[in-house]
Structure 1
């Protein structure tokens, strides 16, 4: 089979190499899957640049790719929820990625069944961002009727986060460019802020939760709009000690992340709010909950560009450098 691999960490190059490999074998609790399509994410480029090796130290070379949709070809002897020809998707376990390949073996616990109404390309856009949202909302301990600000909600994360937050009974606020206003309002946004005309810090106050997709200086700005005791979960900030403990990292890493994330912990303390950092993990049962929400509401993820497998590096470059209005996908196999 063909797979796209990261051969070495390189801060100046995100290119992967297409190589010929043996089709993977499966264990008792695993499923062999023919990959049909895979989502391409900033995380893929972060891995290539070595930016997450403190969280997940991959042994190189490693097959790239974190989420996929595919067809079950074979099931292990202890697998009970899936059968041959089921269409499944997943955010792969942190310690065993490899979605950019023609075949992959995946532990049953990471998988969920794809809603019939979604195409393969649409389904490939769902797992990572949807699970990011679900796990962020869990960290926030969200309650129906409360408000959430999803910063930069016109991108691929917002396309997932907005309808899921609405399904959880939240009042959703986001900001972005005016050209995307109609699209996000159709996803269920209650309040849209045109970032070129209005500063959200001047418009918003007493917000219950924030999903920070921007990072940098925006993280503290978003803390300022929260009510006392509110929670900000960041996708782009700095991991802190609480994150390291939650991820069950070794004690020395907990110390390092505690030091690295202290700035954000102090900012949160200054504003009287809580700061959390998230690095999304695989979770088949949570993804099945997402699939059920999507099936009921017939949510369609926003797709930006679709590339064939042999143009995987163009897809990675698009994610790194292109202004996206949705998810970038690579098609790998055929049904």
Structure 2
């Protein structure tokens, strides 16, 4: 049996996070990667329920706003991170358990977790989450197959550490949900006519600008409503309109085939995510050993090794990417 400490590292990838949500039993949402934070990218993704931000963790970084420790914690689900490598799961669960939208169905496991631990303080919520066998198993099922085991004690103080946090609107305010803090960070009120994404944009950009020039190890993902579900809903509305009128209008004539194409695209994307997950979990070591043996027998292994060394020397040292 796994101990509470056996949590794997999770790749920052929309397919991984979408599969993770399904493993939790939640429905009606998926994760999309964002290549920019400009408003145009959100146009076809709304509603956006929250953002997940991956960044290089800096020790002793001051919170960028007041930390909530008052009675708002009775309504905001915030869990303190008490276990290593759990920040990815905590970020996505924080968004899901604070999301109040008709598209989002938490499913039995997350509903039970929220009901059971909502009255706890943040540390007890974190302990409850990290000791959930279902949550931990779902998290660890996202692990990438490793060919070799490395001793974690070999890591040095100079090694880069990366961390996931979440941003979302809750009851008219923007909050940052970072399990390493004592509570949610309050980024202030969102005006009634204001899009919460316009409020969060400068906060994320300011955070990125803290780092040295040329630092590119950031990743931003959005928790959005299930795209296929939305397209199917729109398609149904257009088909009803056609049925009522007995004929297609200019709008439905263009929209119906477009929506069917979008639905096919989402099906293909989810199939690709599943295939990528199988490849992540597959053990390629027997194949690699057999290939190396064949290359050695044909005296091709050493020349290939020398070429690889030359190529690596020309490129110079590389920074770790996450």
Q: Quickly name the TM-score band, shorter chain normalised.
A: under 0.3
More strand, by proportion: 1
Based on CA coordinates, which of the two structures has the bigger radius of gyration?
2
Of Structure 1 and Structure 2, which has the larger fraction of its residues in helix?
2
* TM-score when normalising by structure 2: 0.24
Q: TM-score normalized by structure 1? A: 0.23
Greater RCO, 1 or 2 (C-alpha within 8 Å, sep 6+): 2
